[in-house]
Amino acid sequence: MSAVAELATDTVTITQRNLKKILRVPDVLVFTLISPIMFVLLFAFVFGGAIGDQGGVGYREFLIAGIFAQTVVFGSTFTGFSLAEDLQKGIVDRFRSLPMSPGAVVFGRTLADVGINVLSLVVMALTGLLVGWRIRTSVLEAAAGFLVLLVFAYAISWVMAYVGLLVRTPEVVNNASFIVIFPLTFSANTFVPIETLPGPLRVFAEWNPVSSVTQAARELFGNTAPGAPEPEGWALQHPVLYTLLWAAVIVAVFAPLAVRQYQRAASR
C-alpha cells in the first residue's frame, strides 16, 4: 500500500473507533448536546430582553450565528482532551507498535470530532428555531453557512490536537483552552455589534477570525438586515474567504506540528 492509501485506511479505522467511543461515553454526548441548548436559551432570554435590535434584526436572530461559532470552537477542545486521554491510557503504545500510518491517530481524531460539532450544530439550530431564529436565505446558502462553521472548527481542532499532545493531561487541556478560547470568542462580533467595542479591541475584533466566521454564517443564514451598512475592514467584507484562508493556514501549520508531536509524545 502506498503511504497515502495507508494513511486513508488507517484514518478510517481510527475515526470509526473514535465515533464509537463518542456514542458510548454518555457524559461527553450529554455535555455536547446540553451546553449548546443552554447557551442558546441563556443568551436569548437573559440578554435578549436587555439588548434590542442589532443592525436592523432582532437580537436573537443576531445572536445565534455567534453562539454557533463559539460552540463549535469550544467543541474542538474535545480533540485535544481526547488525544491527551489516549496518551495517558496507554492505547497509544499499542498504536505505536503497529505498522500503521503515524498521522492516522491525529487525523482520525480530528475527523471524528467533526461529528461532535455536526451534532451540536443540529441541536443548536433546532433550539434556535424554537426561540425565533430563522434562516432567510436558500437551503444551499444555509448549508454553506454550516459548512464554513465546520471547516473553521476543524482547523481549530488541529490547534487543540497539538496542545493536547503537548500538555498530555486532559484536565489541563480543558482549562488552558478555556483561558484562550473564552476571550477569543468574546472579543468579536459574536454577541455584540463590533461598533460598540473600544478602539484597539475593535481593531482586534475586526481581524479576529471568530468574527469573520460569525459574519459569514450571519450573511449566509440571512440574519443581517437588508440595506445595513457594510462592515469595516477587508476581513469582514469578505468573511467567507477570510475564514477559509485562516482555516487553511492553521491546518498547514498545525497538522504537521501535531503529527510530529504525536510521534514525540508517544516515544518517551
Residues of this chain that bind another protein (CB under 8 A): 1, 6, 9-10, 13, 16-17, 20-21, 24-25, 87-100, 166-169, 264-268
User: Which residue, 64 or 167, is less far from another protein as judged by CB?
Assistant: 167
| Shortest distance, position 137 Cβ to another protein, whole Å | 40
Q: Nearest 5°: phi and psi at 54?
A: -120, 125
Q: How far is the CB of 155 from another protein (least distance, A)?
A: 24
Cβ nearer to another protein, comparing 13 with 137: 13
Q: Which is nearer to another protein, 64 or 92 (CB)?
A: 92
The closest of 203, 206, 225, 226 to 214, measured between CA atoms, is 206
Q: Under DSSP, is residue 149 helix (H, G, I), strand (E, B) or coil?
A: helix
CB of 119 to another protein, least distance (A): 17
Nearer to another protein, 25 or 130 (CB): 25
Question: Closest separation between CB of residue 118 and another protein, Å?
Answer: 20
Instruction: Return the DSSP state at 228.
Output: P
- What is the C-alpha end-to-end distance of the chain, expressed in Å? 29
Backbone angles phi, psi at 57, to 5 degrees: -125, 160
Q: Check if the beta carbon of residue 209 is closer than 8 Å to that of residue 237.
A: no
Contact criterion met (CB below 8 Å) for 205 and 187:
yes
Lookup: cell for 195: 461598533
Per DSSP, the residues of 114-134 read: HHHHHHHHHHHHHHHHHTT--
Cα–Cα distance, 131 to 79 (Å, whole number): 30
Beta carbon of residue 93, minimum distance to another protein (angstroms, whole number): 5
Identity of the residue, 88 or 196, whose beta carbon is nearer to another protein in the bound complex:
88
As measured in angstroms, the least distance from the Cβ of 78 to another protein is 15
Nearer to another protein, 16 or 138 (CB): 16
Q: Report in angstroms how near the CB of residue 13 gets to another protein at its nearest.
A: 5
Nearest approach, Cβ of 80 to another protein (angstroms)? 14
In the bound state with another protein, the residue whose beta carbon lies nearer, of 156 and 265, is: 265
Q: Determine the angle formed by the axes of helices 26-42 and 3-24, rounding to 10 degrees.
A: 80
Alpha helices per DSSP H over the chain: 3-24, 26-42, 48-50, 59-75, 77-89, 91-96, 104-130, 139-167, 170-186, 199-207, 209-221, 234-237, 239-266
User: In the complex with another protein, which residue's Cβ is closer, 108 or 128?
Assistant: 108
